[in-house]
Structure 1
């Protein structure tokens, strides 16, 4: 039986916010899109009502202890993303693409330690070695050594740097299959996660993600204005956004 050549998109975390707007943008471009969410009912509801604006569903829970915050941030932002990509990539057709949503926090300059930066940007770095680095960071947090060891103070930064490092590992591995792998900083999105303080609407952030998904870009870190930026150079917040 001949395999369908229809383009299919799978969007994770898509029941609201940026993910939901990405689904809507892809649907406008007649791409068959699968909306996925951790809560099945919310996901089904959003897939049926792709016309309404997402509502806030995550209440503010204050500031959890740093070890717990670090553990959960790494699970959600890094390890779950890796697990999903590792599961789905063998099932993808040659010539497909993966776009990982990153952040300005994912720029390598955000890691203070030169030793860690050199390790993370090493083109011979394997996924197993990257996971060991991330687990080592969590251990450093548990022993209050994260700043001393050169990771800096932000679990979110480390998780997104991990996402970018993984993106480039995956790009190198899947290049022989012509599968394009990129990561995108969509801007400071006004969502529940930013408590409505972002300066970019979800639909605006979705535009650059979809643009990269439908382009021939490969192995790139793309800024919110569509500019590919070096991962290991000067902080683009300075030379693109004019701020730090």
Structure 2
């Protein structure tokens, strides 16, 4: 029998590392792949967990790099014939008071948090095995109320919103940010918040695609808000520990076979399903 495998992105520190720790020490009956862009930091994280009696495997992954994504895809296909769990924790954010132009912020933040996450999912979802679990980390502000324009909200809420239409919305947002008109058009002022609205929307689109793919794989995709956890990403602001932030994501990653609820949902840190609109 082929061994099961879980992949966690952006996992050398913070919430991603806590999710790896949970999966290794919890109920997941297979290998756990800890991925990170920086090899030294990724290997150091694996070594620290190994010292605690856990045994994750390191694999380099930069979700903004198509070649890096292909290398991981090939590794999973060759060694496991697929993947069972994918937790997308990799993300970037610009700090408060940054002097970086908002157009560059939008390009880079969306490039990792949305476009990069989508790129990886498009390669790994086709090889995800039956009862696979996809978990995308979003945020407290990754909700539709973060967008103030009714017309934009209606486009996100379209029941048949396609991946291509979502990409068009993302490209539109980045263009608006580059031209300095994103706030006037109803987009969030924060590029990080905008990126997480798109991650939540992506999850909903992915579940519809999975449900309509003509197979009976029963793959479940959910977006999870870990709450405000003090990490490098947010300047160490927050009151929840990484382990507390990892709880709901771990729960969703370990949903039992044939469980199809929640699916395509936005789940809060306390495991509550909330309305994203």
Structure 2 length as normaliser, TM-score? 0.77
In structure 2, relative to structure 1, the CA distance for the partners of 1:119 and 1:228 (3 Å cut) is: same
Q: CA deviation at 1:7?
A: 3.6
Moved more, 98-107 or 149-158: 149-158
Give the one of 17, 20, 25 matched to 1:23: 20
| CA–CA separation in structure 1 for the residues paired with 2:5 and 2:178 | 42
8 Å CA contact 2:183–2:189 kept in 1: the answer is: yes
Tell me which protein shows more strand as a share of its residues: 2
Structure 1 residues without counterparts, runs of 5 or longer: 53-57, 233-244
Misfit runs of 4+, over 2 Å: 58-62
Within the candidate set 236, 243, 246, 1:206 is matched to 246
CA offset digits 1:102-144 (Å, max 9, x no partner): 0011111111011111101212111111111111111111221
Q: How does 1:59-78 map to 2 (within 5 A)?
A: 63=98, 64-78=100-114
Alignment counterpart, residue 183 of structure 1, candidates 191, 216, 223: 223
Alpha-carbon deviations, 1:169-228, whole Å to 9, x = none?
110111253100000000001111122111111111011110121123311110111100
| Counterpart for residue 130 of structure 2 | 94
Partner of 1:225: 270
Q: TM-score, normalised by structure 1?
A: 0.86
**Do the aligned partners of 2:27 and 2:254 also contact (CA within 8 Å) in 1?**
no
Do residues 49 (structure 1) and 48 (structure 2) align? yes
2:38: which partner in 1? 39
The alignment yields a C-alpha RMSD, in angstroms, of 1.9
- How many angstroms does 1:41 deviate by? 2.4
Q: Where in structure 2 are there 5+ consecutive unaligned residues?
A: 53-92
Residues 139 and 223 from structure 1, CA distance in 2 versus in 1: closer, same or farther, beyond 3 angstroms? same
